[in-house]
Chains A and B, each alone.
Chain A
Amino acid sequence: MIEQAVLYLFVGLVLLGGLMAAFARQVLYAIIGLGVALLGLSGVFLFLGSPFVAAMQLLIYIGGITVAIVFAMMLSISMAVQPPQSHRGKSALAVVAGALFFAAVFVAMRGAEFPSPAGALPADAWAISRIGHLLLNAYNVVFETLSVVLLLAIVGAILIARRERKTA
């Protein structure tokens, strides 16, 4: 009973944050909406059986990405202070596009049938150690590729954002 209430609280946080991010005029409110949605989503991940992914969501998304976006907002302050007039037509078209997408996929989802898992799960199916074993054995190539991608992203970000010296 209480578990259900907490789950619906998290679901409400996700939807509230998404609405804030989609319709906020000030970019700071959009960032706060993103943070609220990510917080609710990590709670939903807890209910989906994975405390590890929920913790990673909190650490990386809320602790890292949201804070980085706030820094970028403060460094490009002019639009944060004076939000431009939004085009009425453009916003309305965007809402129509989102609603159409929602309706189409929702209809397709109602018509789909999903299989149930065949056998019983092994006892340690949800253990964190299994994730580590998979990452370092079956998905080792993906793991290493991801680390290279992150390294290249860091180098690229520094190259793009650095201040160029005045060449004499």
Chain B
Amino acid sequence: MTLESYLALGLALFSLGLVAALSQRNLIAVLIGIELMMNAASLNFMAFNRYVVEDPAVGQVFVLIIIGLAAAEVAIFLSIILRLYRQRREIDSEHITTLKG
């Protein structure tokens, strides 16, 4: 596979994540869409890292940082979901229009 095909794969993954984040109503499914988009970004970093840059360790460092930030984001997102569910018994993105406690 060439650089272009890896980029196309990352683009397809990002578009699927966008569709998931826009169309799903369950907040957990929206989170899954966001995760897919972050992974598409890491795939782009790895592809450019393999084919373009001169020091291939730098891109790997970038991807590790993306993974760490994604873990932090998921922790916060899931705790917000649990709090919402405990207070309102639903996690439907159409009905939750405020984060005010």
With both beta carbons as reference points, the residue of chain A lying nearest to B74 in the complex is identified as A65
Secondary structure at chain B's binding surface: helix, strand, loop or mixed?
helix
Given the known interface contacts A93-B22, A149-B72, the answer about A53 and B78 at a Cβ–Cβ threshold of 8 Å is no
Residues from 29 to 81 in A contacting B, C-beta threshold 8 Å = 30-31, 33-34, 37-38, 41, 44-45, 47-50, 52-53, 56-57, 60-61, 64-65, 68-69, 71-73, 75-76, 78-80
Given the known inter-chain contacts A68-B74, A157-B75, A161-B79, please indicate yes or no for A61 contacting B32, CB distance below 8 A. Answer: no
With A72-B78, A121-B54 known as contacts, the answer to whether A30 contacts B72 (CB < 8 A) is: no
A146 to B62 CA separation, bound complex (whole angstroms):
12
Binary per-residue interface labels of chain B (49-74) against chain A in the complex, 1 for a CB within 8 Å, 0 otherwise: 11111111110110111011111111
Question: By CB atoms of chain B within 10 A, which of A21, A64, A71 has the most?
Answer: A21
| Residues in A102-134 with C-beta less than 8 Å from chain B | 102, 105-106, 109-110, 114-119, 121, 125-126, 130-131, 134
Known: A37-B36, A65-B70, A105-B11. A126 touches B79 (CB 8 A): no
Q: Would you give the 0/1 interface string for B77-88, flagging 1 where the beta carbon is closer than 8 Å to chain A?
A: 011111101100
By the criterion of a CB under 8 Å from any partner CB, how many residues of chain A are at the interface? 87
Counting chain A CB atoms within 10 Å of each CB, the highest count among B6, B39, B52, B83 belongs to B39
Q: Which of A61, A106, A118, A149 contacts B54 (CB 8 A)?
A: A118
Residue numbers in A under 8 Å from B14 (CB-CB): 101
Q: Are A99 and B61 in contact (CB under 8 A)?
A: no
A-B contact pairs, 14 of them (CB 8 A): A22-B20, A27-B28, A30-B28, A45-B43, A65-B71, A69-B78, A72-B82, A76-B28, A101-B18, A134-B61, A142-B61, A146-B69, A150-B71, A156-B79
**Residues of B that sit less than 8 Å from A by CB:** 1, 3-4, 6-9, 11-20, 22-26, 28-29, 31-33, 35-36, 39, 42-43, 46-58, 60-61, 63-65, 67-76, 78-83, 85-86, 89-92, 94
